[in-house]
Amino acid sequence: MLWCFLKDLTDREVLILWADSAMDRAMRKLTPMCEYGFEKREDSASAQEQARTLLGRLRAEGLYR
């Protein structure tokens, strides 16, 4: 779920990772591992829904637009 949340933020450029920063390197290493776990659509859909819920809560608190 957290990976879906971070991927959504980086895909929409809400969170921009500096090239070769520690977070950028971590995301590049984690992406193949996390994508491997989403072979089952129901797992992926559940994690994405949880990520949307988390983003909605953070938006309600004024942390994201």
**pLDDT tens string 6-58:** 888 888 888 899 999 998 998 888 888 777 766 666 667 787 788 888 888 88
In a domain, 46, yes or no: yes
In a domain, 43, yes or no: yes
Report the alpha-carbon distance of residue 62 to residue 57 in Å, rounded: 9
Cβ atoms of residues 65 and 59 within 8 Å: yes
In a domain, 50, yes or no: yes
pLDDT of residue 25: 93
Neighbours of 60 (CB within 10 A): 9
Q: How many domains, the chain?
A: 1
Cβ atoms of residues 47 and 38 within 8 Å: yes
In a domain, 20, yes or no: yes
Q: Is the pTM of this model over 0.75?
A: no
In a domain, 65, yes or no: no
Range of the domain at 13: 2-60
Cβ atoms of residues 60 and 14 within 8 Å: no
Both tokens assigned to 10: 């980086």
